[in-house]
Structure 1
Amino acid sequence: MSTTTSADGTTISFTATGEGRTVVIVNGALSTAADAGPLSDALTDAGFRAVVWDRRARGASGDHPDSTPKDEADDLAAVIDAAGGADAVLGHSSGAVLALYAAMRGVPTGALFLSEPPIDFDGSGFGDEMPERLQAFVDAGRPEEAVASFQREAIGLPAEMVEAGRASGQLAALAPLAQSTVYDTRLTLRLKQVDPTLLDVSASVTVLRGAQTFPFLLAASDRLASVMDGAELVVVPESVMHRPDPAATARVIAERLPEL
């Protein structure tokens, strides 16, 4: 495990494995670098150097009060710099939103592989007040309630499923990531009803989604690929219900990332 320092002084933890072209993985909500292990292993097996990292307020990384999407973009820039550059960035879910936002801000991501990004093009999702409500739960020492609200309102899980998670101890296990739910909602709100003119990035873009996934993510992935000039949509049958299949995802990247 290595560390780097983001622009605001926050310590960000990352790990690089393998040799070859460098692919930086950006996790989605309620996950840590450890959760990217299968993707990292598949990329390493495919001949890549894989970099996994804990986004701020997660795992071994630090945090800074009232962090913004810009801070998270700076975190990705710091990881890329510390890794010696990136040939590609693979982002999943909100991690795909972060990868795209960082590229829009000029972070040198290399090729972008965006897996099921939850971009709310139509503005039909949660409201602007949600980050403050989640922060209030965190500040009141009720992290499980922050996670539960995020799962119900941002992810769209049925209330009975969230309560089953509470009964099984899943909410308690996710409670240490509660602060990150505030940042994920701020990030996705930043690209809510995004103006297509803002999606002009210099990197090549591949949007990935499963054939079987949540309707909102299917629509968002297809819409993103259609409004970005030169973007390619790739349907990955092996990826089911918002879970990217590691081997199939690595194969897509290997087929599209030019040899150095």
Structure 2
Amino acid sequence: MEHVTSVDGTAIAYERLGSGEPVILVPGALCDRNALKPLALALAGEFDLITYDRRGRGDSGDNAPYGVEREVEDIAALLAAIGGQAAIYGHSSGAGLAAVAASSGLPFTKVVLHEPPYGPDDVDSSEDGAQVLELLREGRNQEAVEHFLLMAGMTQAEAVELAAGPGVAELAPTLAYDFAVMDYGAPGGRLPVELLAKITQPALVLAGTASPPFMIDAGYRVVKQLRAAALIELADQNHVVPPEFLAPVLRSFLQGSVSRR
């Protein structure tokens, strides 16, 4: 494990696996760098994979006040540490963060957005988000996680089980960061059309056919806003895809080119 120092002095922990073209992997809500490590291991034969702890998670530090721009600065610091250029893959709200970073003009070679959870334009998710944030303010972290997972389309039983998992409640306060990321550029978690239009790199959007319908729909709406992008449906896969299924898809895109469809 190594650390890089972000603009505001926050230490960001990261690991590198493999060799080849650098690829930064951005985890989603309630995840640290270990969540994407199996995927990194599956791709390490061809690429230099960078997994990292987003601020406030794992071995990374944190500084107040939080701002989405600070997370973009964290990624910029990683880029500088690994040579100044890389592809980027983001999962879930990590895909939302990857989109913000790519729209900022950072020197990414390619961009992969895996089920960024943008909601329908006619639905405002801010009320549900406010309930999660209120539970966090009251210190009811496990309940906050349960409510968040229900928002994401899980069943009650699934949400309760996952929220009770080891270390999950400790990561709960960073849900506020994920809400801020998904609201960045458009209120209420709606599609940030102007932000997405600024992404000029070759891009791939991924959606599992077994995922909640709103996530599949979001994928199709996202790809329409990108200048050079394709969408691939991952057959019979839900929001979390096994690395043995996902790695070949990413390998093909990262080693080749993409045409819009």
State the 1:135 CA deviation. Answer: 4.4
Return the alpha-carbon distance in structure 2 between the equivalents of residues 252 and 85 of structure 1: 25
Q: Report the AA paired with residue 191 of structure 2.
A: V
Structure 2 counterpart of 1:241, from 199, 221, 238 = 238
State the distance in 2 between where 1:36 and 1:201 align.
24
Q: By how many angstroms is 1:49 displaced? A: 0.8
Instruction: Indicate the residue corresponding to 1:209 in structure 2.
Output: 207
Aligned length: 252
Asked if the contact 1:4–1:78 (Cα under 8 Å) also holds between the matched residues in 2, the reply is yes
Q: Contact 2:27–2:93 at 8 Å: present in 1 too?
A: yes
| Equivalence for 1:142 | 140
Counterparts of 2:177 and 2:32, CA distance in 1: 14
Using the TM superposition, give the Cα deviation of residue 227 of structure 1 relative to its aligned residue in structure 2, in angstroms.
Answer: 2.3
Query: What is aligned with 2:228?
Result: 230
Unaligned runs of 5+ in 2: 257-261
SS at 1:17's partner residue? Answer: strand
Distance in 2 separating the partners of 1:57 and 1:65: 10
> By how many angstroms is 1:248 displaced?
3.6
Using the TM superposition, give the Cα deviation of residue 188 of structure 1 relative to its aligned residue in structure 2, in angstroms. Answer: 0.8
1:183 has 2:183 as partner: no
State the AA in 2 paired with 1:141: G
Alignment of 1:113-152 (within 5 A): 113-127=112-126, 130=129, 133-152=131-150
CA distance in 1 between counterparts of 2:154 and 2:234 reads: 23
Q: TM-score, normalization: structure 2?
A: 0.87
Q: CA offset at residue 137 of structure 1?
A: 3.6
1:25: Cα distance to partner? Answer: 0.4
**Aligned counterpart, 2:259:** none
CA distance in 2, matches of 1:222, 1:243: 18
- Kindly indicate whether residue 61 of structure 2 is the aligned counterpart of residue 62 of structure 1: yes
Task: For structure 1, list consecutive stretches of 5 or more residues without a partner in the other structure.
Answer: none
Change (3 A) 1:248 1:158: closer
**Structure 1 stretch 214-223 or stretch 71-80: which is displaced more?**
71-80
How far apart, in 2, do the equivalents of 1:159 and 1:248 lie? 27
Q: 1:1-260, aligned counterparts within 5 Å?
A: 1-45=1-45, 47-127=46-126, 130=129, 133-153=131-151, 155-165=152-162, 169-170=164-165, 173-190=167-184, 191=186, 192-199=189-196, 200-237=198-235, 240-258=237-255
Contact 1:4–1:82 (Cα < 8 Å) also in 2: yes
Change (3 A) 1:128 1:69: farther
Report the AA paired with residue 11 of structure 1: A
Post-superposition CA distance 1:92-113 (Å, at most 9, x none): 1111110011111122222001
- Aligned-residue sequence identity (percent) comes to 32
Q: Could you tell me whether the CA contact under 8 Å between 2:76 and 2:106 is conserved in 1?
A: yes
Q: Render the CA deviation track for 1:73-120: whole Å, top value 9, x for unaligned.
A: 111111122122343101111111100111111222220011111122
Take 2:129 and 2:105, find their aligned partners in 1: how far apart are those partners?
Answer: 28
Asked if 2 retains the 8 angstrom alpha-carbon contact of 1:22 and 1:85, the reply is no
Q: TM-score, normalised by structure 1?
A: 0.87
Residue 158 of structure 1 and its aligned partner are, at CA, apart by 3.2
In structure 2, do the counterparts of structure 1 residues 109 and 218 end up closer, same or farther at CA, with 3 Å as the change threshold?
same
